[in-house]
Structure 1
Amino acid sequence: MDLDLTYPALSDLRAKAKRRIPHFAFEYLDSGTGRELQVQRNRDALDAVLFRPDILPGKIDPDLSTHFMGADYARPFGIAPLGMSGLMWPGMERILAGFAQEQRIPYGLSTVATRLPEEIGPIAGDMGWFQLYCPADPEIRRDMLARAKASGFTKLVLTVDVPDDSRRERQRRAKLTLPPKITPRVIWEVLSHPQWSLGTLREGSPRLRLPESYLNQTEARSSLAHAGHIIRGAPGWDTLKILREEWQGDLIIKGVLCTDVAKRLMSEGVDALWVSNHTGRQFEAGPATITELSSIRAAVGPQVPILFDSGVASGLDVMRALALGADFVMLGRAWHYAVGALGKAGPGHLMHILTDDMKLNMAQIGAHRLADLSKRLI
């Protein structure tokens, strides 16, 4: 099969993944919150970022390798952390972490992944980043940090845009619980997706393994209800100060949308800002992430490392973010669609799609280097 002809775009991978993943799991991956207006707002705002084409630029063969925060990466994009990753496809964390190490792009492991840092850190190697939902218990927090560090994770990503749950109505309509309750509907969905089901039998039921490791055996039987309390820390500015002292390494703050907050974060000693609205999964009535990016860049200056996510669906979208001030772009859902569609072959094909799209579009606008992108904005 010629993957480039069968699955030429991320939308094709998404459509295939939707057929191969049980409905309750796909809804967790794919849904936003409310009427999903924020999801559409992200898409519309990205589409509104335009470049001026060029002619007679000569041969264009851009180098997409990127030096970012002291490390060399093969591309200016990476794999964002996504909670319950292994629910979408059995073994997802291992597949993506191994791919990231092989291809030299960053991989983010979530606090609420289905595998432990000790399992995934050695696979990701020096490409591993650990994303933290900060626990209220300081002893648990310190132990999580120690385990992440000992497992080889090089950067800590503190997610700050989840002060509470969001309703995510699509997930509720899909009757999603974690772990899934055994109902006739769930049994049918599992039986009608045999590859997912057989893989899940091999991997074990998707669970919040890191939070669960701090519970006793009785509490762990109701994974989400009890393990969820472990990560409901409601961190404040004082928490950030403590975390900055406790983590000896790069500290990235994920979920930044305000210039004043961005400047204060830098004064508190963080190392990088991650501009994100959680891809519309948390709050429906906020701004599109891409519309805030350039003002945040202007507020903190050219030297502060900035990452971007939220709705990136193509190499052209990566270019848009880089042109408006991001140094690095992260995708979460996209990699999970790819694995859900094609298994272990999925990440490589998605990387090809993104790379080819970037190179061809850079030729269209006469951009020989990534640094040229901003000059071609309209």
Structure 2
Amino acid sequence: MLPAIKDYRDLARRRLSRFAFDYLEGGAEDGRTLARNLAAYQALLFRPRVLRDVTETDPGMEIFGRKYRLPLLVGPTGLNGLYWPKAEEALARAAHAEGLPFVMSTASTSLIEDVRAASDGDLWLQLYVQRDRAIAESMMARARAAGFSTLMLTVDTMVHGKRDHDIRNGFRMPVPWTPRLLADLAAHPRWCLRMLRQGGSPQLVNLARSSGMANDLKAQAAGLSRQMDMSLCWDDIAWLRRHWHGPVIIKGILTPADAEIAARQGLDGIVVSNHGGRQLEGAPSAVEMLPAIVAAAGGMHVFVDGGVRRGADIAKALAMGARGVLVGRAPLYGLAARGPRGVAEVLAILRGEFETTLRLLGVPQAARLDAAALSDDHAARLAAL
């Protein structure tokens, strides 16, 4: 096991082709929002208490009536087959081994049914809605049949944010053959061999199956990027409820006003998120908006993502009012660096660091973390970013 998440990131950078690593790591435009996500956690300071019995810790959290080992979800990420074959199966198995949910993306490169066959754990479906809503309806039906428990609708991707790194690399699906790409591939033979073993470029297989597309990655990518339903609005929550009878969560909330609407709509939860800094450049970090959104959320479960790289970051998010955090890049660093073993190691590192943080804070139960664990000037520190 490597010492920290950043070590897996560094190893992933060496082992992946440049365009694959840049797709994993990069943010929108100049990357300022991505940097702000990381800076927000760094700005928060703890206020530890001492001489408290921390012999036993309880790092778990109850979510929708079910107790998880950590207040953490392995969040939805797309095109994971770029990093390792059968990536979603590996992520789901590692999450289950740690007692955590795995949220599977619409843009996954493994089938819903195959991921269920690979894991007995709690699986959630992240949903993008195309203009042809029959595709989303099919995906929800397939996930229900496979025993997925929770639906997470992502609402901040009406169009794709501008990602300069992908333009510089000429990255699109399928990847075009260029002299620059050939040089990149030649510098990463192990990665190339893995891709060849899985049949070349990964496919958006769930989108293809639910839309009736052929195994044509160009058509699949176009369907995901250019056919998003830009008419989707709050009134469509009723449509979702007709097709999904479990908990429904909205991902992509960044304002208290939208949290209030979500509460009035009877949603079960929200994810405060700027999409990992990959969509709107100049957006606030999710964690800095968290307290005001929690206050407006009316008792819904409030989750947060973007910038979690340490177990201490999980504690800071909970102290700011979150029920739990989603991690996206961190487990992918592990996957790209060391395969399924790397995912398990990254999750174990986060668990160990979080338990250590609880003890050092003098708050051995995760569910008891609140703003008292943070310095009095934490709001001013975030405002100064």
User: What letter matches 1:245 in structure 2?
Assistant: R
1:25: which partner in 2? 20
Distance 1:188 1:259 in 2: 48
Hey, what does 2:341 align to over in structure 1? 345
Match of 1:368 in 2: 364
**Could you say which residue in structure 1 is the equivalent of 2:267?**
270
Mapped to 1, the partners of 2:321 and 2:197 lie a distance apart of 44
Q: Give how far 1:365 is off.
A: 1.8
2:320 aligned with 1:324: yes
> What CA deviation, in whole Å up to 9, does each residue of 1:56-111 have, x standing for no partner?
22344311122211222111112100011111222211110111222221111110
Q: Matched residues in 1 for 2:215 and 2:77: separation?
A: 27
**How much has 1:345 moved relative to structure 2?**
1.4
Q: Give the alignment partner of residue 132 of structure 1, picking from 111, 127, 135.
A: 127
2:103 maps to 108
Query: Which residue number corresponds to residue 164 of structure 2?
Result: 169
SS of residue paired to 1:185: helix
Deviation readout 1:170-199 (Å, 9 max, x if unpaired): 111122111211222222322332332222
Using the alignment, how far apart are the partners of 1:366 and 1:222 within structure 2?
Answer: 54
Within the candidate set 65, 71, 85, 1:76 is matched to 71
Once the 2 structures are TM-superposed, how far is the Cα of residue 230 of structure 1 from its aligned partner? 4.8
Residues 1:297 and 2:294 are matched in the alignment = yes
Q: Is 1:273–1:306's contact at 8 Å kept on the other side of the alignment?
A: yes
Q: Greater shift after overlay, 49-58 or 266-275? A: 49-58
1:310 alignment counterpart? 306
1:149: which partner in 2? 144
Q: How many residues align?
A: 372
User: Kindly tell me: are residues 226 and 42 of structure 1, through their superposed partners in 2, closer, same or farther at Cα, counting changes over 3 Å?
Assistant: closer
Residue 250 of structure 1 is matched in structure 2 by 247
- Residue identity matched to 1:363: R
Q: Which amino acid in the other structure matches residue 266 of structure 2?
A: G
Aligned-pair distance for 1:227? Answer: 5.0
User: Is 1:333 matched with 2:329?
Assistant: yes
Query: Which structure 2 residue ranges, 5 or more long, are not aligned?
Result: 376-385
The separation in 2 between residues aligned to 1:83 and 1:261, in whole angstroms, is 25
Aligned AA (1:365):
L
TM-score (norm 1): 0.93
Cα RMSD between the aligned structures? 1.8
Deviates more, 1:80-89 or 1:182-191: 182-191
Report how far residue 229 of structure 1 moved: 4.1
How much does 1:310 deviate? 0.7
Superposed displacement of residue 323, structure 1: 0.7
2:222 corresponds to which letter in structure 1? Answer: A
How many Å separate the matches in 2 of 1:18 and 1:172? Answer: 19
1:268-322 per-position Cα deviation (integer Å, ceiling 9, x unaligned): 1211111111111001111111111111111124x32111101111000000001
AA in 2 matched with 1:281: R
Q: Match of 2:383?
A: none
Q: Which moved more, 1:226-235 or 1:265-274?
A: 226-235
Aligned counterparts, 1:10-21, within 5 A: 10-21=5-16
% same residue: 35
Match of 1:131, SS state, is: strand
Give the structure-2-normalised TM-score: 0.91
Cα gap change, 1:212 to 1:227, in 2 (>3 Å): farther
How far apart in 2 are the matches of 1:17 and 1:257?
30
Shift of 1:207: 1.7
Q: CA 1:227–1:51 in 2, change beyond 3 Å: closer, same or farther?
A: closer
The answer to whether the 8 Å contact 2:301/2:323 transfers is yes
Deviation of 1:29 after TM superposition, in Å, equals 0.5
User: d(CA) in 2 for partners of 1:221 and 1:14?
Assistant: 29
**For structure 1, which segment, 215-224 or 158-167, has the greater mean C-alpha deviation from structure 2 after superposition?**
215-224
Q: 1:236 to 1:202 in 2, by over 3 A?
A: same
Partners of 1:363 and 1:103 in 2: CA distance: 20
C-alpha separation in 2, matches of 1:235 and 1:169: 27
Superposition deviation, residue 157 in structure 1: 0.5
SS of match in other structure, 1:115? coil
Tell me, in whole angstroms, the C-alpha distance in 1 between the residues paired with 2:218 and 2:42: 45
2:347 matched to 1:355?
A: no
- Which amino acid in the other structure matches residue 309 of structure 1? D
